[in-house]
């Protein structure tokens, strides 16, 4: 099964939802601000109705990419096609796209109702229909009875919903969202994440979502494009990105990962045998797109590693096994992080689920043996 | 964003803030307050009191009379001059608004480099004497002035025209030019504070540039428009130097009449009475501006 999922564009259970012409196509799009490259040759196809997230560190070009789709910036090179039409230098008001701005950008001199109906008014929708659709849209974001209030009289979360309603009421083919939950507290963020995802399914519009919060990206997206320095490093489903990162940057940016420098010894097709200095041979999943040879990085996530002592029964055949001295214990709530010092001097973080209170605690300095499935250990070229 | 939030909430915040101010700050008040009372409020009251007195052979009769107001309201001359002055002030205000808006918009929204320098250039003329700027117009519009020399050279006219100087047009040009910075500055302030995302949001929602201007930019810059208009309007309304130096015989303005009554004709009561309509007009303007939150937010 793991092999089947490794194809370039993974087959998903709900693949039927997407199809036909792509909703958005970026063809080798670049953007320079003066001499500064903000986006350097991005090519991307977003499918109809898809929830696609642009994820990356600050300054990697997410906002710039989104603004080029919205028409607020024009590409320095390349082409953007929306719903089969090349956008060229079309201004925002002539694109089938609506945006939810990071700071909401609700018009302060208009009521909530006027804000939401603004787009309909601009496209000449008659008044009775406008009123009906505004009420519908506010209902959809679960915010009735605020039509006559000014945006300043609403909480941040409510303003957020108004901004969503104002965009969705126009039934855009594409909805662009630039860190729309950035200003909300954690709890509200989580609620809104679910609601956004739900709205995406309900209205069927394509959502392009920008965030630098990896957890948010993982929970909400159909696919994630991980960006760095103006390029897309990897594009795939959340599972893909998390379980099969192609580069050290992706593995490091999303979740926590142990990186161990290893030497490739040999390969038997299903797994690659490598040598970890000081600890001896290990087996790992074959790398994707690059040959397994020379010095490589073995990437394994802390939660994929178990303490031998915790596993019922004895050794699991074919699993990798390491021993190290327990040097650090960090209690994190749902799990405890153990940091082991391996014989070769490397550090290895292990996450151990906190089940029963006080069960199976280990003192500092104890030598622990840990195991993990070789399929959870990725070999990276960099 | 908070800076252009609904006035109601902002006033609430301002009120809350002032309540929490440490009491010691009140000690700073007597100085400026005393200054305002003795050098501004007291003279104003004295002036207004004069309006209810009369003058008899150069001596002021300190008995209450409404005679001055009767003169003002029945004498054709005063009403005509008053009307002309108000019309001039209105036209100059409108012209400056039309000139200043694009400039302020450009400075606030398009210019990224050398903004401070360009803004300084806008303020720069204010640092030279007002009189010098008025005289400059005289040399431009005069019989041997720059405009005439130019038109003669180009061949549009073969005789130096005298019509440029000493006319309503000359006054209009001068007023519009000398007061322009007072319009640009408050407009720049509101436009600078207007988040670009509002303009982008309007465009995103399907508004073309004109509709964006009308429905978002214009209403949100209203405080600046009113503040700037208030300055230009009242400066023009009370001015007497430009009419004196550049106006023709039939272009008398109210400020000039006030000056004459306090000066040459030595009729302080009538002079004071003529100030009243100016005060009323400006107060009305202030009331309207205040209603739309133009004061306090754009202290330019
Ligand atoms: N208007 C601009 N003028 C000059 N440089 C810009 C402009 N907008 C963005 N940049 C530069 O382009 C690069 C990408 O910026 P962008 O805003 O797209 O990043 P981002 O991924 O959205 O970052 P963040 O997570 O901080 O919002 C940055 O180096 C930024 O400094
Ligand atoms: Mg950004």
Coil, strand or helix: which one is A213? coil
Nearest to A101 among B8, B9, B197 (CB): B197
Average pLDDT of every residue of chain A: 89
Residue B14 forms part of a structural domain: no
Q: What is the location of CATH 3.40.50.300 in chain A? A: 2-243
pLDDT at site A324: 95
Instruction: Give me the mean pLDDT over the A13-33 stretch.
Output: 78
DSSP notation for B177-196: HHHHHHHHHHHHHHHHHS-H
Residue B13 forms part of a structural domain: no
Q: Select from B201, B209, B218 the residue whose CB has the most chain A CBs within 10 Å, as the one to mutate to test that interface.
A: B201
Confidence of residue A9 (pLDDT cuts 50, 70, 90): very low
Residue B86 forms part of a structural domain: yes
- Cβ–Cβ < 8 Å for A157, A188: yes
pLDDT at site B298: 41
Residue B91 forms part of a structural domain: yes
Q: How far is the CA of A376 from the centre of ligand 1 (A)?
A: 35
Chain A CB contacts of B1 below 8 Å: 103, 108
Domain that holds residue B68: 31-291
The more confident residue out of A7 and B56 is B56
- Cβ–Cβ < 8 Å for A301, A256: yes
Residue B166 forms part of a structural domain: yes
Residue B19 forms part of a structural domain: no
Residue B16 forms part of a structural domain: no
Q: What is the location of CATH 2.40.50.140 in chain A? A: 256-381
Q: How far apart are CA A140 and CA A169, in angstroms?
A: 10
For Cα atoms B2, B3, B4, give the angle at the middle one, nearest 5 degrees: 90
Strand residue runs (E) in chain B: 54-56, 59-61
- For residue A60, pLDDT beyond 80: yes
Q: How far apart are CA B33 and CA B28, in angstroms?
A: 9
Nearest to B204 among A92, A102, A123 (CB): A92
- For residue A320, pLDDT beyond 80: yes
Lowest mean pLDDT among A191-205, A214-228, A334-348, B219-233: A191-205
Ligand 1 atom closest to residue A212's alpha carbon, by position in its atom list: 25
* CATH number of the structural domain spanning residue B183: 1.10.3720.10
Assess if CATH 3.20.20.70 describes domain A256-381.
Answer: no
Establish if B4 touches chain A: CB-CB under 8 angstroms.
Answer: yes
Helices assigned H by DSSP within chain A: 62-70, 112-122, 127-140, 156-168, 186-203, 214-220, 238-243, 248-253
**Dmax of chain A from CA atoms?**
76
Question: What SS3 string covers A138-200?
Answer: HHHCCCCCCCCCCHHHCCHHHHHHHHHHHHHCCCCCEEEEECCCCCCCHHHHHHHHHHHHHHH
Q: How far apart are CA A307 and CA A355, in angstroms?
A: 14
Chain A CB contacts of B5 below 8 Å: 108, 150, 152
pLDDT in 10s for each residue of chain B, 300 residues: 334 334 444 444 444 455 555 667 777 888 888 988 888 899 899 988 988 888 877 788 888 888 888 888 888 888 999 999 999 999 999 999 999 999 999 999 998 888 889 989 988 888 888 888 888 888 888 877 888 888 888 888 888 777 778 888 899 999 999 999 999 999 999 999 999 999 999 999 999 999 999 999 999 999 999 999 999 999 999 898 898 888 888 888 888 888 888 888 888 898 899 999 999 999 998 898 888 776 654 433
* Residues 6 or more apart in contact with residue A13 via CB below 8 angstroms: none
Ligand 1 atom closest to residue A34's alpha carbon, by position in its atom list: 4
Establish if B201 touches chain A: CB-CB under 8 angstroms.
Answer: yes
- Cβ–Cβ < 8 Å for B300, B185: yes
Residue B90 forms part of a structural domain: yes
- For residue A12, pLDDT beyond 70: no
pLDDT at site A314: 63
pLDDT at site A241: 93
pLDDT in tens, A30-59: 999 999 999 999 999 999 999 999 999 999
- Percentage of residues in chain A having pLDDT higher than 90: 70
Complex ipTM > 0.95: no
Assess if CATH 3.40.50.300 describes domain A2-243.
Answer: yes
Give residue ranges with CB within 6 A of ligand 1.
Answer: A 33, 36, 38, 56, 58-64, 212
pLDDT in tens, A219-228: 999 999 999 9
Q: Tell the residue number behind the tokens 């792509």, with chain if given.
A: A22
For residue A184, the tally of other CB atoms under 10 A from its CB is: 18
How many structural domains are present in chain B? 1
């Amino acid at each position: 099964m793991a092999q089947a999922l490794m194809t370039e564009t993974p087959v998903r259970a709900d693949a039927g939802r997407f199809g036909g012409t792509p909703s958005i196509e970026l063809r080798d799009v670049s953007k320079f601000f003066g001499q500064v490259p903000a986006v350097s040759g991005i090519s991307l196809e977003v499918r109809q109705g898809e929830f696609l997230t642009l994820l990356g560190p600050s300054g990697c070009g997410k906002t710039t990419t989104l603004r080029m789709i919205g028409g607020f910036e024009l590409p320095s090179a390349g082409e953007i096609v929306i719903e089969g039409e090349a956008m060229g230098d079309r201004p925002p008001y002539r694109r089938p796209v609506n945006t939810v701005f990071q700071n909401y950008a609700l018009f302060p001199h208009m009521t909530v109702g006027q804000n939401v109906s603004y787009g309909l008014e601009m496209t000449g929708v008659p008044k009775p229909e406008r009123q009906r659709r505004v009420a519908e849209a506010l209902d959809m974001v679960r915010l009735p009875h605020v039509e006559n209030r000014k945006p300043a009289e609403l909480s941040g979360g409510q303003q957020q919903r108004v901004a969503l309603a104002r965009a969705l009421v126009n039934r855009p083919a594409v909805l662009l969202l630039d860190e729309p939950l950035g200003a909300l507290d954690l709890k509200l963020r989580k609620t809104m994440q679910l609601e956004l995802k739900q709205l995406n399914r309900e209205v069927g519009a394509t959502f392009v979502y920008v965030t630098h919060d990896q957890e948010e990206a993982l929970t909400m997206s159909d696919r994630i494009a991980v960006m760095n320095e103006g390029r897309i490093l990897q594009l795939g489903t959340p599972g893909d990105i998390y379980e099969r990162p192609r580069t050290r940057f992706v593995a490091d940016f999303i979740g926590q990962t142990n990186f161990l420098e290893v030497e490739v010894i040999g390969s038997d097709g299903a797994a690659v045998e490598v040598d970890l200095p000081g600890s001896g041979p290990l087996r790992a999943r074959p790398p994707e797109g690059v040959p397994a040879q020379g010095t490589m990085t073995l990437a394994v996530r802390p939660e994929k590693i178990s303490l031998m002592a915790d596993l019922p029964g004895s050794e699991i055949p074919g699993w990798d096994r390491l021993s190290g001295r327990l040097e650090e214990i960090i209690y994190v709530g749902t799990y405890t992080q153990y940091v082991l010092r391996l014989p070769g001097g490397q550090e290895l973080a292990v996450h151990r689920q906190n089940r029963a209170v006080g069960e199976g605690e280990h003192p500092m300095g104890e030598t622990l043996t840990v195991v993990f499935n070789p399929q959870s250990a990725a070999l990276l070229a960099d | 964003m908070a800076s252009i939030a609904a006035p109601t909430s902002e006033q609430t915040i301002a009120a809350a803030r002032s309540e929490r101010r440490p009491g010691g700050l009140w000690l700073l008040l007597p100085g400026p307050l005393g200054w305002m009372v003795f050098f501004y409020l007291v003279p104003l009251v004295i002036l207004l009191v004069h309006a209810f007195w009369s003058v008899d052979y150069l001596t002021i009769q300190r008995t209450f009379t409404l005679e001055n107001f009767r003169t003002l309201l029945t004498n054709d001359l005063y009403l005509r001059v008053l009307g002309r002055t108000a019309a001039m002030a209105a036209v100059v205000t409108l012209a400056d608004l039309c000139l200043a808006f694009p400039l302020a918009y450009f400075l606030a929204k398009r210019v990224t480099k050398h903004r401070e320098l360009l803004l300084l250039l806008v303020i720069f003329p204010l640092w030279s004497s007002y009189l010098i700027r008025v005289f400059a117009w005289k040399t431009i519009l005069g019989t041997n002035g720059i405009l005439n020399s130019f038109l003669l050279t180009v061949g549009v006219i073969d005789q130096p025209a005298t019509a440029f100087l000493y006319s309503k047009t000359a006054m209009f040009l001068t007023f519009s030019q000398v007061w322009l910075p007072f319009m640009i500055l408050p407009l720049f302030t509101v436009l600078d504070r207007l988040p670009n995302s509002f303009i982008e949001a309007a465009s995103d929602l399907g508004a073309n540039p004109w509709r964006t201007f009308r429905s978002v930019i214009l209403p949100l810059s209203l405080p600046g428009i009113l503040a700037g208009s208030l300055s230009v309007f009242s400066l023009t309304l009370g001015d007497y130097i430009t009419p004196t130096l550049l106006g023709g015989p039939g272009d008398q303005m109210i400020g000039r009449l006030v000056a004459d009554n306090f000066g040459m004709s030595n009729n302080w009561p009538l002079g004071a009475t003529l100030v009243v309509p100016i005060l009323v007009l400006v107060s009305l303007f202030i009331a309207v501006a205040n209603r739309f939150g133009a004061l306090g937010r754009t202290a330019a």
